[in-house]
Amino acid sequence: MVPHLVSRWPVWLFRCRAAYTPGAPVQQKTWAWMSSAAPWGIVGTSPLVCRHSSSTSSRAPEVMLTHKRYPVRRLPFSVVSEEDLAAFERMVPGRVVTDPEELEASNVDWLRTVRGCSKVLLRPRTSEEVSRILRYCHERNLAVNPQGGNTGMVGGSVPVFDEIILSTALMNQVISFHDVSGILVCQAGCVLEELSRHVEQRDFIMPLDLGAKGSCHIGGNLATNAGGLRFLRYGSLHGTVLGMEVVLANGTILSGLTSLRKDNTGYDLKQLFIGSEGTLGVITAVSILCPPKPKAVNVAFLGCPGFAEVLQTFSSCKGMLGEILSAYEFMDAECMQLVGHHLQLASPVQESPFYVLIETSGSRAEHDAEKLSDFLEQVLGSGLVTDGTLATDQRKIKALWALRERITEALSLDGYVYKYDVSLPVERLYDLVTELRARLSPRAKHVVGYGHLGDGNLHLNVTAEAFSASLLGDLEPYVYEWTAGQQGSVSAEHGVGFKKKDILGYSKPPEALQLMQQLKALLDPKGILNPYKTLPSQA
């Protein structure tokens, strides 16, 4: 996730401060337009804005090679030869990258935790080129690592050994957009933020939004079944993706770029590839349904005295905001301290144990404002919320969102980060953070919890000065066992990739893992597509 820049905090907030007195009537709460400087900090530029820039190479220390850090053995794939390079040069002339400097950014994940040693990166422009490359690799038994924006969290987008990197970066054309239906058809390498701009100019929005929007590719979003910030409102990609073009391991092009909301002509094959992380085929183009652009968007940023209040505020807002609710995110006080310390962002509200970001998106501003105002009055009046601030224009909304979206960045500046992304029943969501904090103290620098509460999705992060096997031993399998004990998912939205492939058993029964292996064997019998990923290594 590569956060976007917010160069400074502007002076603008429609600000509410409760000055709450228990028992006082709701009317005494004051909501006022702020006309003077907001009590926020100022941020500078982020060192992580573009990890592909030369600045990344100056960062020490160098990332350890994956196969040196993890117990993984190279499978008996062929090694890329000079003849292979010449063949690729004929397939994608001038788009065969072998310069080690250029390859570096694609061999290392953006979190700088895994590193492959690929010697070649290919940049096809069309599905036919992808087809030719895969047919060749399939015949030659060459392993291939499909790569989009390389913004994944689980080491799924970089090679483990010397797999050929197949980049979608030049497959970045919008094929069509239908102004009435909102159906976008585009190549897989389109950057999410650019697609957003494209459809927003036509009064639609993309059905998904991520912190990584400035770098991630739509094909990668589908391959990893990205969730993100609009999931609560617009649901899963399994629902919004209408069609797909995929190139299979042997080079077969599976065309299915239909632009129909309903199509029950047999098995819905595209679903297989959503979330398969490039292990079953390479997604080359996408047809996706874009919702109409909301005429009014509001973001409220609130302080809550406890997690129970975070949950009750969620219930209230589902009831009172109903169909206009588009996001319900939470972060704890330690998250706010981290964005304050590392990114010089100050809280826009009084210091609180928890913070909640609520977004509404609706078709009529005055109706939305009335719903939101009634809701805020109620949660302030009942003490569920102790302080809050509200933004209505896009620039300001982005700034509030940055507080939540830049947590990942702040964490990465705090030291070594142990990252977990779990789904849990909302009632128990924060218990895991509390229990871990007690379990690890004082060896961890920070144990923080934040995430998409509306989707039951917790991002649990632990920072320490450096990697420690003993700390890891206290975290794993504890976190996974705890999650499995709640019938949760050990990977909510980040996927499996290289790092999580051996913990699937905590969330999936053996029969399911076996069927996964069978599907892999059916679609990629030589196992050349994104090897060492997604499927448990033992089977």
* Interaction between residue 539 and a second copy (CB under 8 A): no
- Residue 201 lies near a second copy (rule: CB under 8 A): no
CB 406 within 8 A of CB 346: no
- Point out which span in 111-119, 124-132, 330-338, 367-375 binds a second copy (CB under 8 A): 367-375
C-beta closer to a second copy: residue 240 or 382? 240
Contacting a second copy within 216-235 (CB under 8 A): 224-225, 227, 231, 235
- Identity of the residue, 1 or 169, whose beta carbon is nearer to a second copy in the bound complex: 1
Binding mask 60-89 for a second copy (x = CB under 8 A): ------------------------------
- In sequence order, what DSSP letters do the residues of 445-459 get, joined into one string? SEEEEEEEGGGTEEE
Nearer to a second copy, 48 or 496 (CB): 496
Give least dist CB 201 to a second copy, A. Answer: 17
Q: How many residues bind a second copy (CB under 8 A)?
A: 85
Q: Which of 35, 264, 441, 538 binds a second copy (CB under 8 A)?
A: 264
3-state secondary structure of 242: strand
Q: How far is the CB of 263 from a second copy (least distance, A)?
A: 4
Which residue lies nearer to a second copy by CB, 24 or 515?
A: 515
Decide if residue 468 touches a second copy (CB under 8 A): no
Q: Which is nearer to a second copy, 142 or 535 (CB)?
A: 535
Contact 160, 114 (CB under 8 A): yes
Give the pair of three-digit tokens for residue 35.
Answer: 């006309």
Q: Which amino acid is at 535?
A: L
Interface residue with a second copy among 38, 253, 346, 365 (CB under 8 A) is: 253
Nearest to 400 by CA among 305, 458, 327, 294: 327
Interface with a second copy, residue 30, by CB under 8 A: no
Tokens 């229990």, located at residue: 435
Q: Over 350-371, what HEC string results?
A: CCCCEEEEEEEEECCHHHHHHH
* Subset of 317-346 contacting a second copy (CB under 8 A): 318-324
Smaller CB separation from a second copy, 317 or 436: 317
Q: Does 271 bind a second copy (CB under 8 A)?
A: yes
Between residues 55 and 255, which has the closer beta carbon with respect to a second copy? 255
Residue in 393, 303, 344 with CA at minimum distance from that of residue 9:
344
Q: Is the dihedral of CA 516, 520, 523, 529 positive or negative?
A: positive
382 vs 478: CA distance, rounded Å: 37
For tokens 């502007």, name the residue: 10
CB count within 10 Å of CB 75 equals: 15
Question: Considering the rule CB under 8 A, would residue 127 count as an interface residue with a second copy?
Answer: no
What does the alpha-carbon distance between residue 12 and residue 372 come to, in Å, rounded to a whole number? 19
Any contact of residue 181 with a second copy (CB under 8 A)?
Answer: yes
Q: What is the DSSP string of 295-322?
A: SEEEEEEEEESSHHHHHHHHHHHHHHHG
Q: Which of 351, 393, 427, 465 binds a second copy (CB under 8 A)?
A: 427
Residues 283-312 that bind a second copy (CB under 8 A): 292, 294-295
- Which of 11, 19, 24, 269 is the binder for a second copy (CB under 8 A)? 269
Q: How far is CA 8 from CA 40, 346, 414, 538, in A?
A: 10, 11, 22, 50
392: contact with a second copy by CB under 8 A: no
Cα 26 from chain centre: 39
Residues 480-519 that bind a second copy (CB under 8 A): 487-496, 500, 504, 507-509, 511-513, 515-516, 518-519
Stretch that binds a second copy, among 86-94, 267-275, 376-384, 440-448 (CB under 8 A): 267-275
- Residue 336 or 504: which CB sits closer to a second copy? 504
**Binding flag, residue 363, a second copy (CB under 8 A):** yes
Count of CB atoms within 10 A of residue 34's CB?
A: 16
